Amino acid sequence: MKLSERSFGVVAEAFHRVSGIKLVPAKRQLVIGRLQKLATERGLDNLDEYVEQVIKGGDQAELVRVVDRLTTNETYFFREPAHFEFLATLLSRRRPGTEFRVWSAASSSGEEAYSIAMLLADKIGPNGWKIVGTDLSTAMVDAAQKGLYPMERARGTSPAYMKKYCKRGSGPYEGHFLVNKELRANVRFVQANLTQTLPDMGQFDVVFLRNVLIYFEPDAKLDIVKRVSPLIKPGGYLFTGHSESLSSLPTGLTNVSPAIYART
Ligand SMILES: C[S@@+](CC[C@H](N)C(=O)[O-])C[C@H]1O[C@@H](n2cnc3c(N)ncnc32)[C@H](O)[C@@H]1O
């Protein structure tokens, strides 16, 4: 399918308005690849017509699907393990009796939040901790709430954790695993846009803000970090993806290790 330069501009403008992410002209082919299935489902063989109907026509429900398709949701269990090692040392020093709270901002389909949950359950026990996961994409939030994954996503998860915290699927769920109910009870997911006012979630000991800042220009990146920082407890930490340095930005946070920042 084809997408004219003009229609690409309309999609890029709408996507930027909703997500805060800029789509450069070089992404036109990627946009075509991601949206053609949506056009076909609507009985259209023409992306320009789809853009006309959905975006110019102001179809809000369909626009949510467009945003879901255009966000990059790649994630997996125990991605960037150095953060989990740092978290484990924090847990060994924590004051007992206080609830340990972690926010997985941009949680995608939930693998990051459940990886944290496994570590917290292992080091603290079944209670005394809570995790909130948020993402722009409603489809991702729905998937995360289910906690059901194809087996190959488990790479990076120790066999001991798989045995302790997950259930192997059978019958129609053959080849999948489900995160245990006990673990899911301490993890909740909500839709939230990092470029807008955030929901009232309280403060967190650690915030994972990983592999999402990469999609933003420096100003927008700083704006997100400034919005997220007040939700970190004083003395708490912000983790970013290892390719997402904040060092050139006046965030007010202290870089203590690669991709780890303290709110001092
Ligand atoms: C590549 S995933 C990162 C998942 C996980 N944090 C990780 O490191 O594996 C990026 C996620 O950011 C989300 N995202 C993009 N723009 C966002 C925004 N403005 N607000 C909240 N989430 C956003 C996308 O929907 C996507 O699920």
Q: How far apart are CA 258 and CA 49, in angstroms?
A: 47
Half-sphere exposure of 160 (CA within 13 A, CB side): 4
Pocket test for ligand 1, best of 135, 195, 214, 240 (most atoms within 8 A of CB): 135
Q: How far apart are CA 89 and CA 246, in angstroms?
A: 23
Among 87, 90, 82, smallest CA distance to 117 is for: 87
Which ligand 1 atom sits closest to the C-alpha of 194?
20
CATH number, domain 81-262: 3.40.50.150
Model pLDDT, residue 11: 96
Which residues in the chain show pLDDT less than 50?
none
The protein residue whose alpha carbon is closest to atom 9 in ligand 1 is 75
Per-residue pLDDT tens for 64-94?
999 999 998 999 999 999 999 999 999 999 9
Model pLDDT, residue 196: 95
Please say if 135 is a catalytic residue.
yes
Model pLDDT, residue 155: 84
Model pLDDT, residue 95: 85
Q: Is the CB of 136 under 6 A from ligand 1?
A: yes
Pocket test for ligand 1, best of 116, 190, 212, 231 (most atoms within 8 A of CB): 212
CA-to-CA separations, 39 to 6, 57, 59, 110, in angstroms, rounded = 17, 14, 13, 28
CATH of 5-70, one of 3.30.530.20, 3.40.630.30, 1.10.155.10, 3.20.20.70: 1.10.155.10
Q: Is the CB of 259 under 6 A from ligand 1?
A: no
The protein residue whose alpha carbon is closest to atom 13 in ligand 1 is 106
Model pLDDT, residue 48: 96
Please say if 122 is a catalytic residue.
no
Among 231, 220, 221, smallest CA distance to 198 is for: 231
Model pLDDT, residue 254: 97
Question: Hey, where are the domains in the chain?
Answer: 5-70, 81-262
Which ligand 1 atom sits closest to the C-alpha of 105?
6
Structure tokens at 234: 């004083």
